[in-house]
Amino acid sequence: MSTSRVPDLAGLRLLVTIGRHGSIGAAAREAGVSQQAASERLRGIEAQTGLTLVRRGPRGSELTPSGVVVTAWAARLIDLTDEIDTAIEGLRGERSRDLSVWASMTIADSLMPRWLVQLRQRQLHQPGGAAPTSVSLTAGNSHQVVEAVVDGSAHLGFVEGVDAPRRVRSTTVAEDELVLVVAAGDPLGRRRRPLTAQEVAGMGLTGREPGSGTREVVERALAAAGLLMHPSVVELTTTTAVREAVLAGSAPAFLSTRVVTRDLESGHLVAVPTELDLRRRFRAIWVGSAQPPAGPVRDLVAIARG
């Protein structure tokens, strides 16, 4: 196996900081290391990548054209890592945390990490210096999320579906649409004429379990045509598991466009057109008054809407 040319995260953070400050010394101070250590780390990064990334001069240090490009890539990777780190911290949280949030699988996969980072950043910049809210995050299907909010296990939930759930207050935070996908090379991927509702109803799919918002949308779309969903060939409990199964050659599946965009762009998955209306909404849900409770709950709902 060839050696990776991608530096570790600490090295990438140092490079981004050098680009921001225009100084190795300032970047070293922010990282809490000596200027000599920062310079040695930079030389190691340049040796690993095989590129000259920083040009040193009497007025400081500036990124080379290659350094500008690598820094832009590094900043995206760092942002994603911070999102995942925050979400993992939430998943590891105990019920004693300040805010308990439950989210359906698609939302937990594709949106919650960014929302939690934005909540933390907003609170860090609020006057007064109060500690950011500690959040526990639990992922489940939409039915489980509703039950958690109703019984008080969750202060706030996020679900996906066609209709607003009963027994809770809710507000729409995003729009979404499902798409039928198959692995690259599947003969169905060459289909140009949209599948009819009857054809979809006759297909064995890689599907989600009962209670899933994704499954509900497909069932409702077929019911509108007077049809029932065919029993699943494979039934899985997470969006990621369904996606991975289809990539490995399993039966077709309906997944959120948010989840499969990159796979469609890369050609690893292929979208199959259908005549079904597969639009749905992502909703924040809570109990009590018509407005979300003031504080971190309302802040997180506002972030999700934005």
Secondary structure of residue 290 in the 3-state scheme: coil
- 174-281 and 83-166+282-305 share a CATH fold: yes
Residues 6+ apart with CB under 8 A from 301: 156, 171, 173, 284, 292
Task: Spell 221-247 as b/e; 16+ CB within 10 A means b.
Answer: bbeeeebebeebeebbebbebbbebbb
Element (H, E) at 51: none
How many Cα atoms occupy the beta-carbon half-sphere of 15 within 13 Å?
34
The pLDDT assigned to 126 comes to 74
48-88 pLDDT tens trace: 999 899 988 777 788 898 888 899 888 888 888 877 877 77
**Residue 65 in tokens:** 């054209």
CATH dotted code for 174-281: 3.40.190.290
**pLDDT value for 59:** 76
Q: Where are the domains of the chain?
A: 9-81, 83-166+282-305, 174-281
For domain 83-166+282-305, give the CATH superfamily: Periplasmic binding protein-like II (3.40.190.10)
Most distant CA pair in the chain, distance:
76
What pLDDT does residue 1 have?
Answer: 45
Per CATH, which fold does 9-81 belong to? Arc Repressor Mutant, subunit A (1.10.10)
Which ranges of the chain would DSSP assign to H, the alpha helix? 9-21, 24-31, 35-49, 65-91, 105-110, 112-124, 142-150, 197-201, 213-223, 239-247, 257-266, 296-305
Closest by CA position to 203, among listed 262, 148, 253, 163: 253
Q: Tell me what pLDDT residue 90 has.
A: 64
Continuous H helices in 156-212: 197-201
pLDDT of residue 92: 61
Mean per-residue pLDDT over the chain, rounded: 90
Residue numbers in the chain where pLDDT is lower than 70: 1-3, 89-97, 128-130
Residues facing 6 on adjacent strands: none
